[in-house]
Structure 1
């Protein structure tokens, strides 16, 4: 690139970035931040005086923006706000004790606060502002000494409680919970789930973050979710319009809840099936029985319970051993949605529901055949 091209690219960096949130989300976050700041400042003023509350309102307002507008970010998690407030106050009190109240003290306090926040993993930008507020504290706050922790922690805790309540009530999950370890399927081995064996892995993501070596205001779990969602949308686009209705088998073998276990086993063996849907008298799906359910100890235990006094051993019915509720999809589900259910989840039979009734089933063989046809169409 020429110098002019480099300069033009540099100028483009000053353009505002696109926002991928809706105006309704802006209003939700704004109302929550304003109400939380008002409540926490009011509580601080009641307990420690209006002057002290006004002195802390700046950092609290900045924290409110993070807690309500970007609550999924790594900088807005509970430990980030509580830890940073503790670190900032401790550093500011220590610096002013030895060096007094000066611009040098403010600069030194900010430097040490940033290092300590990174060390204890509680990076929170308003913490930097808070340490300056404590350095240049009003006389009343300065006279409190170590008790200056009290208004800071009370205000921060109140703000955090507001975020916990308001965000979750408005259907924004907060705090972000660590993602569960990827399932390894039904084999209970150390192998990763089938879909995790190809493409981007967690180790790849860790290496990419290490290579970047910079601050990224997004949790690792959310970043992995975004990447995998992007992969899914890209795969959906490349696969075309393969729907469950095109893949499913329509001539379904099924049984009712009162069908005997022996008859259910006979049906599975006769039709070479691994699972048998259970429908009630209105053809609504109420359960499913697999071949494993009929030949493993679960059936023997059911027989034993019935033998004790309820029913004869040979009268165990499918409702006694069926699994419910059943994982299912609608007829418009895309093939990309079927893959994790029939691979990572290890399901052998995926019922297809339309208007509350079962209209077909999709097996692993059905899906493999559809993917094979799609691959051949791309090669052609």
Structure 2
């Protein structure tokens, strides 16, 4: 790369990055942030005084941008705002007590606050602004001493409460959950789910984050979700247009709720099936029965009456033991959507529904055959 190209590439780093959010999301965040700052400032003014509220409005406004506009970020989670506000205030009070209210005190307090926030895992940029606000506090806030925590807690707590209520009411999940434990096998063994055994797994992600060693303003859960979604879209592109309608079996064997368990077992064995859809008199899918349901030793004919052993199977109807509701897909579902249902969730039979009617079923065998054909087409 020539010197000119290097300079051009460097200048391009100053250009704004593309945004993937919609204007409606901008409006949602703007309304929430403005309302939260208004309520937070008003409550602080009522409980303390307007001058103190105005003195704290800077970091409160910065926090509002994070909590409402980028609420999925690691820097915008509840502990980040609570912990950072406490750390910033306490550090600033300690430094000013020792060194007074000077620019040097502000610099030292900011540096120390940053270190403590990192140690406490509550990094929150407005916490740095709050440190400076406390160092250069107005006389009333300064005179409060350690009680200066009270207006900070009230303002920050009100802002956080607004974010918790408003974000969830507007269908933005907040706070983000911590990383979940890896999904385990439906067979209750120590094996990971089939899709977790290949490609990128949680350990790979942890190692990559550790190697990066820098601040990443996204929660680990969201980062993993982005990676999984990217893999899914890449797989969808590479697999072509394999839809449920092409994969499904159309000549479906099914039973009614009034069918006895004995007859249901006979049908499963006769047709070499692992699951039997249950349809009502209007041909609507209302449940499904698997081989496990029929041979489990503690089946129930009613909610209060237990029957045991295979000898009483004639007394039990499939409607009493079927599983409901049933996981279904429509005829246009892509193969990428079918894979986790028939692998990770361990379903043996996936009904295909169109306009309320079952038009076919997809088994693990059907999906494997379709994937095999797709693989051969790529080899050719």
- Relative to the length of structure 1, the TM-score reads 0.97
Which position in structure 2 is the counterpart of 1:10? 10
Alignment of 1:240-279 (within 5 A): 240-279=240-279
Any unmatched runs of 5+ in structure 2?
none
Q: Deviations over 1:182-226 (max 9, x none)?
A: 332321111110001110111111111111111000001100000
Which position in structure 2 is the counterpart of 1:150? 150
Q: Distance in 2 between matches of 1:37 and 1:303?
A: 53
Which position in structure 2 is the counterpart of 1:350? 350
Mapped pair 1:26 → 2:42: no
Q: Deviations over 1:344-371 (max 9, x none)?
A: 0000000000001111000000000000
CA change 1:47–1:262 in 2 (3 A) is: same
CA change 1:10–1:277 in 2 (3 A) is: same
Alignment of 1:68-79 (within 5 A): 68-79=68-79
Q: Distance in 2 between matches of 1:342 and 1:135?
A: 60
Which position in structure 2 is the counterpart of 1:366? 366
Q: Distance in 2 between matches of 1:151 and 1:369?
A: 66
SS in 1 for 2:171: coil
Contact 2:300 2:306 in 1 (8 A): no
Which position in structure 2 is the counterpart of 1:335? 335
Contact 1:244 1:332 in 2 (8 A): yes
Contact 2:276 2:289 in 1 (8 A): yes
Shift, 1:313, TM fit: 6.2
Contact 2:301 2:320 in 1 (8 A): no
CA change 1:257–1:301 in 2 (3 A) is: closer
SS in 2 for 1:341: helix
Which position in structure 2 is the counterpart of 1:47? 47
Any unmatched runs of 5+ in structure 1?
none
Mapped pair 1:84 → 2:91: no
Q: Distance in 2 between matches of 1:70 and 1:150?
A: 27
Contact 2:300 2:320 in 1 (8 A): no
Which position in structure 2 is the counterpart of 1:186? 186
Which position in structure 1 is the counterpart of 2:138? 138
- Relative to the length of structure 2, the TM-score reads 0.97
Q: Distance in 1 between matches of 2:112 and 2:122?
A: 13
Contact 1:84 1:127 in 2 (8 A): yes
Which position in structure 2 is the counterpart of 1:62? 62
Contact 2:68 2:163 in 1 (8 A): yes
Contact 2:244 2:331 in 1 (8 A): yes
Q: Deviations over 1:302-327 (max 9, x none)?
A: 6992669xxx7632100111111111
Contact 1:303 1:314 in 2 (8 A): no
Alignment of 1:68-217 (within 5 A): 68-217=68-217
Q: Deviations over 1:151-192 (max 9, x none)?
A: 000000000000000000000000001243333232111111
Which position in structure 2 is the counterpart of 1:296? 296
Q: Distance in 2 between matches of 1:313 and 1:293?
A: 11
Q: Deviations over 1:5-42 (max 9, x none)?
A: 22111110000010100000000000000000000001
CA change 1:303–1:265 in 2 (3 A) is: farther
Q: Distance in 2 between matches of 1:299 and 1:48?
A: 65
SS in 1 for 2:278: strand
Contact 1:306 1:316 in 2 (8 A): no
Q: Distance in 2 between matches of 1:302 and 1:28?
A: 50
Q: Distance in 2 between matches of 1:185 and 1:280?
A: 33
Q: CA RMSD in A?
A: 1.5
Q: Distance in 1 between matches of 2:37 and 2:270?
A: 69
SS in 1 for 2:362: strand
